[in-house]
Amino acid sequence: MSVKQPVHITFLNGEAVARLALTDDEILAAVEDALRAQGNQQTVIEPRVHLVPENSAKGHFNVLRGVVKPLGLAGVKVVGDFVDNFQRGLPSEMAVLNLFDPETGMPKAILDATAITDMRTGAITALGAKHLARRNAKVLGHIGARGTAYWNVRLLDRLFDFDEIRVHSRRPESRDTFAARLSADLGKKVSVTADWESCVRGADIVVEASRLPRPQPLLKTDWIERGALVVPYGTMSAVELSLTDIMDKMVVDDWGQCRKGLPFGALRPHVDSDRLTEQNLHAELGQIVAGLKPGRESDAETNLFWHRGLSLSDIALGHALLAKAARLGIGQSLRFI
């Protein structure tokens, strides 16, 4: 069948995404709108699938798929997650996002989604804290210096303006560089800790974004202060089984990606042992954003937010980038048909 008119798609490479420079507020607004759509059942999201070329400890590909109906977009993102890429001067996570018209299946855009992955992960962490942490939270303890970690801290600080930020990772050179970059960009001191405990104890918000080769309970439940929010999202579990025992509310981004029978994830052992179930789950974050379920209801609550990563957030940021690119005349038009 012939097509009467040429069809073009937009291509945004990494340089174009950087030039577009979405602001912190643009990132947070786009992702929060997608969460609200999810809470209002205006989305389609399918659990991620994995392609493992050799072994999961070395690296794998995640394939994320979804539809955000208010944006009129479907999306498929493929992101590689290879822990030793730093030895080759490469990011550990590199991604491509493909956007489509969900009514026709026609391709709309191809984007370098490496930065999108980092930004949307940080936005989900920050928005989870917005609804589940104490409003006067002033101390952040962040484990991990992976690509997404920068945006976790940056966007959390945008919402909370912390008095104290502590960071730790297993490689001194990575944590020192990480802290220096954050300190320069945020205009405040960022402290490097030598171990997990000194990073976590006394923190109002604890984020665990470690890169472990295998599950290992390095974050101890006893270190968590009453009233804190804990956000674990490493691929391999780094928390004790007892962590869920102290929680008043447990929230996830999407239960379909957290349920039994799926690999990987910070709370995988807790789901498999029925410590976290659909019955004792308080809510998905989108339900809270949409006002269907409450977030934090008192300063005394100790809460947990586990996110696995939403294709909806990728699609939302892809949409925001395309809209800004159209206004500024940035990007390339490629003929598809």
Q: What is the β-pairing status of strands 283-284 and 249-252? A: parallel
Name the domain count of the chain.
2
**Mean per-residue pLDDT of the chain:** 94
Q: Taking Cα atoms as reference points, which of 263, 233, 274 lies closest to residue 219? A: 233
Q: Do residues 146 and 108 both lie within one domain?
A: no
Domain identity same for 191 and 284:
yes
The reply to whether 3 falls in a domain is no
Give me the phi and psi of 240, to 5 degrees please.
-75, 155
150 lies in the same domain as 294 = yes
State mean pLDDT over 94-110. Answer: 97
pLDDT digits (tens, 9 = 90+) for 289-322: 999 999 999 999 999 999 998 999 999 999 999 9
The answer on 86 and 12 residing in a single domain is: yes
Average pLDDT value for residue range 136-155: 95
The predicted pLDDT at position 58 comes to 83
Kindly list the distances between the CA atom of residue 4 and the CA atoms of 1, 98, 337, in Å, as whole numbers in the listed order: 10, 24, 10
Q: What pLDDT is recorded for position 157?
A: 98
pLDDT tens-digit readout, 10-47: 999 999 999 999 999 999 999 999 999 999 999 999 98
CATH, residue 239:
3.40.50.720
Q: What is the pLDDT of residue 1?
A: 52
Question: Are 165 and 266 in the same domain?
Answer: yes
* CATH assignment of the domain containing 20: 3.30.1780.10
Domain assignment present for 245: yes
What residues contact residue 40 under an 8 Å CB cut-off, 6+ apart? 286, 290
DSSP line for 142-160: EE--STTHHHHHHHHHHHH
Weakest mean pLDDT among 30-44, 99-113, 252-266 = 252-266
Q: CA torsion sign, 227 to 245 to 194 to 84?
A: negative
For residues 287 and 200, membership in a common domain is answered with: yes
- 155 within some domain: yes
| Per-residue pLDDT at 62 exceeds 70 | yes
Is residue 1 included in any domain, yes or no?
Answer: no
2 confidence band (pLDDT: 50, 70, 90): low
Same domain, 171 and 84: no
Q: Identify whether residues 152 and 171 lie together within a single domain.
A: yes
Domain extent for 276: 126-309
pLDDT tens for residues 169-182? Answer: 988 888 999 999 99
- Residue 121 resides in a domain: no
